Amino acid sequence: MTQLPPPAFPPHGSSRFERRGQLLLLHSQGPFNAEHIQSLVAEFRKHAAVLKPAGPWASINLVTRSTMTTPDALEALRRSALWARDELGRCAIAYVIADDVEGRMLMLPAIRASADGIVPLGVFTDYTAAEAWALQEIGRLR
């Protein structure tokens, strides 16, 4: 990503990364702010260094507790979607958000808009459906 200003606040939210083939899973717990999104850049670069040489890859973000996201974090997600496509080779983004996660219905339009016109984005309530969709998106580009 382009040079970002120093964080104004401590990161809110947490994410743990896991690679499964050409899928990068983020086990994330919200609510989220822009500083959290920015804090993920180094981990994305590290994993993309392994994923990109093997071809297209997708991320699956498994969100628990809350999807509530600040407006500047949504802007950071959009910049991140463009950066991860252009610089890191990510071809699709899936979210797994159960029906009982705080803010799900409120945040869904903004989550979808974060990648609109950049890469396909799917939102699912279970991992199996998200994985099948993400693998299909990867397969379309192979």
CB 97 within 8 A of CB 29: no
What pLDDT, on the 0 to 100 scale, is given for residue 5? 57
What pLDDT, on the 0 to 100 scale, is given for residue 10? 80
pTM of the model: 0.92
Count of H-run helices and E-run strands, the chain? 5, 5
Per-residue pLDDT of 51-79, as tens digits, reads 999 999 999 999 999 999 999 999 999 99
What pLDDT, on the 0 to 100 scale, is given for residue 6? 57
Task: Annotate 101-125 with DSSP letters as a single string.
Answer: SBTHHHHHHHHHHTTTTTS-EEEES
Which class is 14-140 in CATH?
alpha beta
Question: What ranges do the domains of the chain cover?
Answer: 14-140
3-class secondary structure, 77: helix
Phi then psi dihedrals of residue 100, to 5 deg: -95, 5
- Grade residue 12 by pLDDT with cuts at 50, 70 and 90: confident
CB 21 within 8 A of CB 60: no
Spatial strand order in the sheet of 57-64: 14-20, 23-29, 57-64, 90-97, 121-124
What pLDDT, on the 0 to 100 scale, is given for residue 78? 96
Share of the chain above pLDDT 90, in %: 91
Report the distance separating Cα 44 and Cα 81, nearest Å.
11
Per-residue pLDDT of 125-136, as tens digits, reads 999 999 999 999
